[in-house]
Amino acid sequence: MQEFIVTNEIDRIDNYLSKKTELSRSKIAKMIKEGKILVNDELTKASYNIKENDIIKVEEYVEDAMNLEPINMNLDIVYEDDDVIVVNKDNGVVVHPAPGNYTNTLVNGLLYHSKELSNINGEFRPGIVHRIDAYTTGLLMVAKNNKAHEILAKELEEKKTKRKYIALVWGIINTDTGTIDAPIGRDIKDRKKMAVTDVNSKDAVTHFKVLERYASTTLIELELETGRTHQIRVHMNYIGYPVVNDPVYGKRKLIDNTGQCLHAKTLGFVHPSTGKYLEFDSELPLCFTNILNQFKD
């Protein structure tokens, strides 16, 4: 669910949302008819003229023809019991189906691996409590039932889940530690990107620590307080140290096509049934270390 608060725009709602999202006007009109777009928690029409302070809520768009099929994938399962799966996601794997990526997602593989997955997040996100970008590698927790999902999601919301990332960024960071506290929302100039902005944004906090400095890059560890879309990539670019090999943010030449040097290395949470704290760690993947080694010389 996306939420937009109208500021000083004067426009029809279908035009407004086509600029703010990746949806076409025809898809927006269809969603309005189906009651999947609300204004101030009420049904609306595509011809509605938005007003200042209107609150627009938009459900995630899913193609009608999309079929969610189990697919036999070589998943790296780090841990599994009756409530939780911890998986180490490969580079290039989209977490769940969405427009443009209908198959070969992590969800397709999870459906083949397990018949028991929570359904709180709907038909097309079974088990998914949180997600990482397609070209970010690393650890994700998956809920196998709704009770576990609710507890794990609450931990995330209350900022109790431990999530540490490793990233290689362009430039030399002189300070050993730092915190980036800057709200993130959709880029008003490019609806496919996120940006630090005060327009329709949400609080975002990222902590970082320098691990190693090289001639032109810095290896850092990051810990998230919040989980906004593209948060690390947007925040590091905002302070002038974009993630190496990021194809979207930073406007730097790509070293190869293996994806950005960003890895979800550590994941810790309180088990939803036992109440015991569990913590998992993962090694940097080859797509990351192959690039990292080029800067060590």
Active-site residue list: 133
CA 6 – CA 223 distance, rounded (Å): 32
